[in-house]
Structure 1
Amino acid sequence: MESTVAEHGETLRPQWVVKRAEDERAALLVVSYPAPQDLDRTVNSARWQASPATRMLALLQGTGVPLGLVTNGSHWMLVASRPGEPATYVTWDAALWSEEPLTLRAFSSLMGAMRLFGVAERDRLPALLAESAQNQQEVTDQLGLQVRKAVEVLVQAVDRINADRNGQLLTGVGEKELYQAALTVMMRLVFVLSAEERGLLLLGDPLWNRHYAVSTLRDQLREVPDENLLAYRHDAWSRLLSTFRAIHAGVEHDQMRLPAYDGALFDPDRFPFLEGRQSGTHWQEVPAQPLPVSNRTVLHLLEALQFLQMRIPGGGVEPRRLSFRALDIEQIGHVYEGLLDHTARRATSTVLGLRGSGGDDVEVELSTLEAKAAESEQALVAYLKERTGRTPAALRSDLRREEPPNALALQAVCAGHDGLYNRIARFAHLLRDDSSGQPVVIHTGSVYVTKGSDRRSTGTHYTPRTLTEEVVKTTLDPLLYTGVSQGIEPSPETLKTPTEILALKVCDPACGSGAFLVQACRYMAERVVEGWAKAEAESGGSGPLTVPEALPAGASHSQQLLPPEPEERLALARRLVAERCLYGVDFNPMAVEMAKLSLWLVTLHKHRPFPYMNGEDLNSQLGATP
């Protein structure tokens, strides 16, 4: 049983094969590696310098076996492959089994003979993993819904602070810019959470954990016994601003060192009002006056990102901690792409936030509901069905209930105005709650988040990695290898040089969140690394080679030498591809920013700044108006 990876000139084989008793079909392939080999890092001694995890996936895909187990003796990784579906990886650390016996039980339950052979087909591991994969879209959609509500909470918090300051804070700042600022904050948080979980910032350093880390902040806020007390404290927002500044400009201190990552994403001057500064001021010249955004608001922002509210059998929801390390960059991009069709508006009259079908919430003016109700119940139900997508039976049931579900909460959001309370009460069961559990009532003059008038008619869809991998490979192979268009199979001998590869220009004219650009970056970078290895082999180890040409050090103008570590080479190649080869264009400028974020995540390196990204806002490029 074997699989040949032609383009890398290597044949993969398992060391052990576990077969099904009933039909002798292979159920599990097993490969072991020496103890020092990390299962997620390149196998340096192999011709194809891929990780054990990647090699096992290729072996499974080539043989059609659904499951593989890879181990180095202390770490065990289960790899599951399904045609046309994303791969699944599950990892156990044997060193933790004595401290966390639940993980040992999970390993025994999933990998034991009973699970593989002694249960019905629907309860065996391939079926369970296939069911789990089907939930991936649900996870992505739910995270998108939670992030949208978090953006709404932050927009309204800043708007309230602006009202308390008689409108001085947001002088010259439109509602659309306020929405973009709130969305940027959430993008920053996703970046930091992803970077911290990947070990690319300083998570684990006591000083960072205590004063800067985002991953640990939520748990620290939850240590307060009464969440209501958090509404009167405001230090968490200042902490986030400090973290954003530290990432942007770097820190050079005897107790903490962090390289400056630069980039527009964390630029404090991009939205100075978030720091309480006026437009046109510079963060290094004018002191920040951090906004009194409550710790409770910050808590809800973090919980929207770190915990998924998942439906459970039998009804109800259960919070589940989300791992950004395990989340595909494509999934993160899709979450934010779903926010491109939203914007912020200022209410000209009282607006109610209504529950929609499938989480597709809507905002409707109270006066419109009253006008429809004055016509007839039938007219009101027909209007609500069109706006919310809910069934007429469910709408009639809500409209005929007499008492509001939470009268005290509704009175609170009505700010003691009995007349307003009485007007809204008849529609109270239609209202949705915000992340604080309060019914959504937007008062005249307040800013709220809603669907924009330029909403994309095609909607947004999660682009799985399996799709981008196939499209990118099919599209780029004729450009990366010689003779592919003439029917010659890609191979190490036909691979073009790193210089030729890095001279290519790849443009996605409707890049969205950058799913195809991210995969192009991965794929082209892997070919660049292979080109460097090929040049090294041809040079016979005569001396160090330069980057990116892979020429002998004395024969090149480049002063940068090819790093010896495979991981360093791949990180460097991804940055070079992102900076030199990839271009993204979109009608929505925030889509370009999201594509940049996706590429930053795939190219991020612990000791290097963000690479320059070739992103363009098509509207400004063509002089069009949104």
Structure 2
Amino acid sequence: QPPRYVILVGFREWLLVDRYKWPNNRLLRFDWSESLDRKETYTLQAAAALLHHDSLAPDQGASLLDGLDENAHKHAFGVSEDLKYALREAIEALGNEAVRQLREKAIAGKQGFYTGKDAVDAGDLSLECLRLVYRMLFLFYIEARPELGYVPIQKSEIYARGYSLESLRDLELTPLNTAAARDGLFFDATLRRLFSLIGQGCGAVAQQSVLAGSVKEAFALAPLDSKLFDPEATPLLNQVRFPNHIWQRVIRLMSLSSGKGKSHKSGRVSYQLLSINQLGAVYEALLSYRGFFAPEDLYEVQPEPKKAAASTRSDEDEEESEQEGEPQGGGSTDLMDSAWFVPASRINQYKPGERVHDLDEHGHRKLRVYPRDTFIYRLAGRDRQKSASYYTPQVLTRCLVKYALKELLKDKTADDILTLTVVEPAMGSAAFLNEAVNQLAEAYLERKQIELKRRIPHEQYIIELQKTRMYLADRNVYGVDLNPIATELAEVSLWLNAIYGEPADPGQPPRAARVPWFGYQLFSGNSLIGARREVFAASLLKKASKPAWYDTPPRRCAFLPSPASGRGAGGEGEVRRPDEVYHFLLPDPGMASYTDKVARQL
């Protein structure tokens, strides 16, 4: 068994190499000149701990580095869980402020708000608020990774101070003590300008003219051609100007972890530690949620907790939940759980254990109530089962893709890998597509280095890996999903995974990052039913017809008539006749199958 770790010792630098991470050019570099010049005790202590014999090859138990890896993954997972709650709350905050402003405009214009042709649809408002927080999530992630070269957060002082989300993040805890500060529009104007820059792009030529020909502070942004950043995708919210206190609350929610439990303090969320897969889990967590307006005061209820489950809860767990502000007894108070709402006239029909309670500022229990006209964004009833929005954990996607590719790549050359096509018929936020792109890119670089008998320099490997990911994502990746929002999120996930930037030539304007385009590759549709050009005869649709259409094989037809004859060829090639119906316009027995486990429970 070869050694797990190798230390390469030089006069000024040491390298710590992990055998499992070396193929991806990942290592720890210790620059002793820099470290000793700084004379920072903590830096030297960290270096000593990482290089110590007991940390790398302990006599028993796991090594320190393995523990650090595991803890980093757990921390990132915990942060992604916090973000799910933060995004749900942010959507409600944005939605309720939008409702307030749109209602005031409707009253002033003597128009209907809940009814009539000008009525605001709660579903449309939910979708637009969802897009808005996903824009924020995209920007948080991309600004935390300057090495991808998309936003010039470290290269342009103009961008960093004048446009970036990070500049607003620095104001997340600034007190807004006056009405002008609370209700001002500085946050809103800055964010809308930033959204426009991302969606439409920005060339360095325009920046040069402003700076009198100097390219020192110029920056360029490649446009992201996506519905996510398209202003026409948010017509309702385009009529709203969110005040500073709303945006500050949203940014605070997405910037600070909740700090649950005894030993955890709230801290700043590090988006640099989150993987694409963990962001995908945050994306998909909200796909099955929906927003609605409370028609009257609504009380939240939940199924009463099972006694067996309650009895297994330890005293320590109960004490911790009390410290976190979770009331004891009653239904679940988890805002990410399925929710049921009843009017005040029916709340007394429910047992005390079925009524959901909150704690007020004095620690007293009170019923959770939503006043009339409140915008509520929750997982209602069986929405998750009906939408089938479940996220596949990264460990499972990695395993499945690894063994699917193991046989496929057995005899392939590096160039053969670049010709493979990847199709995902239910892509969600593209977890499997991204994993396939990652593993194919790594396999390509590994084999290409072997074929050329030349290794890529360590500092260049990340750029080459991103180039390969971009090539594969741009040319070889296809996907379908039933949920249109999932299609938008898949685009964003693939972008974040494949974007890369190249350094500008000396004295030249900066280059915009390379961005893949998925206009003809990712679509919304039903891949189980499909849109094959197959038809049934209309006579089969009659009630007494034997056999029924679903017991008869459909006929494949041509899309266009034959140019020579003006009509399709005979047999399967013939175009659809007037008395034939496309298969995807007809129901199927499986659509009303009462043998289904979920259907039997209703």
TM-score normalised by structure 2 residue count? 0.66
The SS at the match of 2:500 is coil
Q: Cα–Cα, structure 1 residues 359 and 73, in superposed 2: closer, same or farther, change >3 Å?
A: same
Output the CA distance in 2 between the equivalents of 1:618 and 1:353. Answer: 35
2:187 to 220, 223, 236: 236
Shift of 1:521: 0.8
Pairing of 1:31-70 with structure 2 (within 5 A): 31=8, 56-58=19-21, 70=27
Query: Are 2:482 and 2:524, in contact at CA under 8 Å, matched by a contact in 1?
Result: yes
Distance between the aligned counterparts of 2:256 and 2:395, measured in 1? Answer: 26
Bigger-Rg structure (1/2):
2
Gaps of 5+ in 1: 4-12, 16-29, 40-51, 62-68, 77-92, 277-290, 389-394, 399-403, 408-426, 432-439, 483-494, 539-563
Q: For the Cα contact (< 8 Å) 1:333–1:515, is it kept in 2?
A: yes
Equivalent residues of 1:350, 1:365 under 8 A apart: no
Partner of 1:507: 423
Alpha-carbon displacement from aligned partner over 1:90-131 (angstroms, at most 9, x marks no partner) = xxx9489657x5555555567667878999979967567656
Instruction: Report what 1:88 is aligned to.
Output: none
Partner of 1:344: 291
Give me the identity figure in percent.
22
Distance in structure 2 (CA, Å) of the matches to 1:117 and 1:573:
35
Change (3 A) 1:525 1:70: closer
Match of 1:269, SS state, is: helix
Counterpart position of 2:552? none
SS at match of 2:166: coil
Q: Is residue 426–residue 479 contact of structure 2 (8 Å, CA) maintained in 1?
A: yes
Aligned counterpart in structure 2 of residue 153 of structure 1, from 70, 93, 107: 93
Aligned with 1:529 (options 445, 451, 464): 445
Structure 2 residue ranges without an equivalent (≥5): 212-217, 302-325, 327-331, 502-511, 532-583, 592-602
How far is the alpha carbon of 1:241 from its aligned partner? Answer: 0.9
1:405 aligns with 2:355: no
Kept in 2, the 8 Å contact 1:228–1:296? The answer is no
1:351/1:363 contact within 8 Å kept = no
Distance 1:322 1:32, change over 3 A: farther
Change (3 A) 1:185 1:428: same
- Match for 2:221 among 246, 256, 259? 259
Q: Which residue of structure 2 lines up, in the alignment, with residue 293 of structure 1?
A: 242
Q: Does 1:441 align with 2:395?
A: no
Give the alignment of 1:389-428 within 5 angstroms: 405-406=360-361
Q: Secondary structure at the match of 2:441?
A: helix
Selected match of 2:237 from 274, 293, 307: 274
User: Within the alignment, does 1:496 sit opposite 2:413 as a pair?
Assistant: yes
**In the alignment, what sits opposite 1:311?**
260
CA offsets, 1:440-480, max 9 Å, x none? 73423x43212256623297665443332221121123333
Which amino acid counterpart does residue 232 of structure 1 have in structure 2?
D
Post-superposition CA distance 1:393-450 (Å, at most 9, x none) = xx6xx7xxxxx8359xxxxxxxxxxxxxxxxxxx97233xxxxxxxx73423x43212
User: TM-score scaled to structure 1, two decimals?
Assistant: 0.63
SS at match of 2:420: coil
Q: Partners of 2:32 and 2:435 in 1: how far apart?
A: 28
Q: Secondary structure at the match of 1:73?
A: strand
Deviation larger for 342-351 or 595-604: 342-351
1:36-115 aligned at under 5 Å gives the runs 56-58=19-21, 70-74=27-31, 94=35, 98=39, 102=42
Moved more, 192-201 or 358-367: 358-367
Q: Distance in 1 between matches of 2:82 and 2:404?
A: 32
1:187 equivalent to 2:162? Answer no
Q: Secondary structure at the match of 1:298?
A: helix
- Provide the residue aligned with 2:577 in structure 1: none
Distance 1:589 1:73, change over 3 A: same
The answer to whether the Cα contact below 8 Å between 2:339 and 2:381 also exists between their aligned partners in 1 is no
User: Aligned letter for 1:339?
Assistant: L
CA-based RMSD: 4.3
Cα distance change, pair 161–33 in 1 and its aligned pair in 2 (3 A): farther
Opposite residue 142 of structure 1, the aligned amino acid is: D
Partner residue, 1:247:
198
CA positional deviation for 1:333: 0.5
Q: Is the 8 A contact 1:262 1:609 kept in 2?
A: no
| Distance in 2 separating the partners of 1:615 and 1:517 | 11
1:519 aligns with one of 392, 410, 435: 435
**CA-to-aligned-CA distance 1:3-26 (integer Å, 9 cap, x gap):** 7xxxxxxxxx743xxxxxxxxxxx
Aligned equivalents of 2:135, 2:145: Cα separation in 1: 15
Among candidates 143, 166, 184, match of residue 215 of structure 1: 166
Q: Say if 2:510 is the partner of 1:610.
A: no
Aligned equivalent of 1:593: 488
Gap change, CA 1:35 and 1:179, over 3 Å in 2: farther
Counterpart of 1:9 in structure 2 is none
Structure 1 SS opposite 2:383: coil
* Contact 1:31–1:71 (Cα < 8 Å) also in 2: no
> 3-state SS of the aligned residue for 2:272?
coil
Whole-angstrom distance in 1 between the partners of 2:514 and 2:120 = 30
The 1:497/1:138 distance shift into structure 2, 3 A limit, reads closer
Alignment correspondent of 1:401: none
User: 1:236 and 1:59, CA in 2 relative to 1: closer, same or farther beyond 3 A?
Assistant: closer
- Cα distance between partner residues in 2 of 1:222 and 1:359: 24
Tell me how far apart the structure 2 counterparts of residues 182 and 455 of structure 1 sit (CA, whole Å).
19
> Is the 1:32–1:73 contact (alpha carbons within 8 Å) kept by the matching residues of 2?
no
Instruction: Kindly state the Cα deviation for residue 352 of structure 1 after the two structures are TM-superposed.
Output: 4.5
1:457 is aligned to 385
Change (3 A) 1:454 1:229: farther
Question: In structure 2, what is the Cα distance between the partners aligned to 1:133 and 1:383?
Answer: 36
Output the CA distance in 1 between the equivalents of 2:10 and 2:96. Answer: 54
Aligned residue pairs total 464
User: Which residue of the partner structure matches residue 472 of structure 1?
Assistant: 401
